[in-house]
A and B are shown apart, each in its own frame.
Chain A
Amino acid sequence: MNNIISVSYYTFLEMVRNKVLYVLLFFALFIFVLGIAITQMTIGDNLDIISDIGLGTIEIFSTVLAIFLGINLVQKELTLKTLYPLLSKPLSRTEYVLGKFFGMIFLIVVEIIVMSLIFLVLLHVYGGPERLIAYLPAIYTIFLQTATIISVAVLCSTLTEPTVGGILTISFYLIGATSYNLVYAITHRTSENVAKVINTLRYILPDFSHFNIKDNLVYGRGLEGLHIGFASFYALFIVLIVLSLSVIFFNTKEIN
Chain B
Amino acid sequence: MVKPIEFKNVSKTFRHPMKVWDRIEAVKDLSFSMENGEIAGFVGHNGAGKTTAIKMMMGFIWPTAGEIQVNGKDPGDPDVKKSIGFLPERPYFYSQLSGMELLSYFGKLTGIKGTVLRDRSEKLLRRVGLFDDRNRKLSGYSKGMLQRIGLAQALINDPQLVIMDEPMSGLDPIGRREVKEIIRSLKREGKSVVFSSHILADIENLSDRVLIIEKGLMKHFGTVPEIVPPDRIRYKIEFNAPDEMKDAAFSLFKGIRVVSNRFVIDCEDLDDFNVKLTSIVQKGYTVHDAGGVYPSLEEIVFSQSGEVAS
Instruction: Spell out A's residues near B (CB within 8 Å).
Output: 2-3, 6-7, 10, 13-15, 17-18, 80-82, 84-92, 254-256
A-B contact pairs, 9 of them (CB 8 A): A13-B97, A85-B93, A86-B106, A87-B58, A88-B85, A88-B154, A89-B106, A91-B81, A256-B61
Within 8 A of A (CB), among B22-64: 55, 58-62
A91 touching B61 in the complex, CB below 8 Å, given contacts A14-B94, A17-B96, A80-B92 = no
CB of A138 to closest CB in B, whole Å: 32
**Is the beta-carbon distance between A6 and B61 smaller than 8 angstroms?**
no
Please give, as numbers and ranges, the residues of chain B lying within 8 Å of A85 by CB-CB distance: 86-88, 91, 93, 106, 150, 153-154
A81 touching B101 in the complex, CB below 8 Å, given contacts A88-B84, A89-B110, A92-B78 = no
**Is B105 on the interface with A (CB-CB < 8 A)?**
yes
Known: A6-B109, A89-B157, A256-B60. 12 other contacts (CB 8 A): A6-B105, A10-B105, A82-B92, A84-B91, A85-B91, A85-B153, A87-B58, A88-B84, A88-B85, A91-B78, A254-B61, A255-B60
Please give, as numbers and ranges, the residues of chain A lying within 8 Å of B101 by CB-CB distance: 10, 13
Bound form: Cα–Cα A170–B75 in Å: 37
CB of B146 to closest CB in A, whole Å: 11
**Is B230 on the interface with A (CB-CB < 8 A)?**
no
Q: Which residue of B lies closest to A89 (CB)?
A: B109
**Is B108 on the interface with A (CB-CB < 8 A)?**
yes
Per-residue CB contact flags for chain B residues 157-185 toward chain A (1 = under 8 Å, else 0) read 10000010000000000000000000000
Bound form: Cα–Cα A13–B95 in Å: 11
A14 touching B97 in the complex, CB below 8 Å, given contacts A81-B90, A85-B88, A88-B58 = yes
Please give, as numbers and ranges, the residues of chain A lying within 8 Å of B306 by CB-CB distance: none
**Is the beta-carbon distance between A254 and B108 smaller than 8 angstroms?**
no
**Is the beta-carbon distance between B111 and A84 smaller than 8 angstroms?**
no
Per a CB cutoff under 8 Å, which of A10, A80, A90, A256 touches B111?
A90
Q: Which residue of A lies closest to B139 (CB)?
A: A17
Bound form: Cα–Cα A82–B86 in Å: 12
Instruction: Spell out B's residues near A (CB within 8 Å).
Output: 55, 58-62, 78-79, 81-82, 84-88, 90-97, 101, 105-106, 108-111, 150, 153-154, 157, 163
CB of A87 to closest CB in B, whole Å: 7
**Is the beta-carbon distance between A10 and B97 smaller than 8 angstroms?**
yes
Per a CB cutoff under 8 Å, which of B81, B95, B150, B154 touches A90?
B81
Per a CB cutoff under 8 Å, which of B96, B108, B110, B154 touches A14?
B96
Please give, as numbers and ranges, the residues of chain B lying within 8 Å of A13 by CB-CB distance: 96-97, 101
**Is the beta-carbon distance between B78 and A90 smaller than 8 angstroms?**
yes
Best-buried of A3, A89, A256 by chain B (most CB within 10 Å):
A89
Please give, as numbers and ranges, the residues of chain B lying within 8 Å of A80 by CB-CB distance: 92
Please give, as numbers and ranges, the residues of chain A lying within 8 Å of B106 by CB-CB distance: 85-86, 89
Bound form: Cα–Cα A84–B146 in Å: 14
**Is the beta-carbon distance between B96 and A254 smaller than 8 angstroms?**
no
CB of A55 to closest CB in B, whole Å: 31
What are the nearest 7 A-B pairs in CB distance? Answer: A88-B86, A17-B96, A89-B109, A84-B88, A255-B60, A254-B61, A90-B81
Please give, as numbers and ranges, the residues of chain A lying within 8 Å of B110 by CB-CB distance: 89-90
CB of A93 to closest CB in B, whole Å: 9
Q: Which residue of A lies closest to B80 (CB)?
A: A90
Please give, as numbers and ranges, the residues of chain A lying within 8 Å of B88 by CB-CB distance: 81, 84-85, 88
CB of B139 to closest CB in A, whole Å: 10
**Is the beta-carbon distance between B108 and A6 smaller than 8 angstroms?**
yes
**Is the beta-carbon distance between B81 and A88 smaller than 8 angstroms?**
yes
**Is the beta-carbon distance between A90 and B109 smaller than 8 angstroms?**
yes
Please give, as numbers and ranges, the residues of chain A lying within 8 Å of B154 by CB-CB distance: 85, 88
Please give, as numbers and ranges, the residues of chain A lying within 8 Å of B86 by CB-CB distance: 84-85, 88
Q: Which residue of A lies closest to B52 (CB)?
A: A256
CB of B253 to closest CB in A, whole Å: 57
Please give, as numbers and ranges, the residues of chain B lying within 8 Å of A2 by CB-CB distance: 108
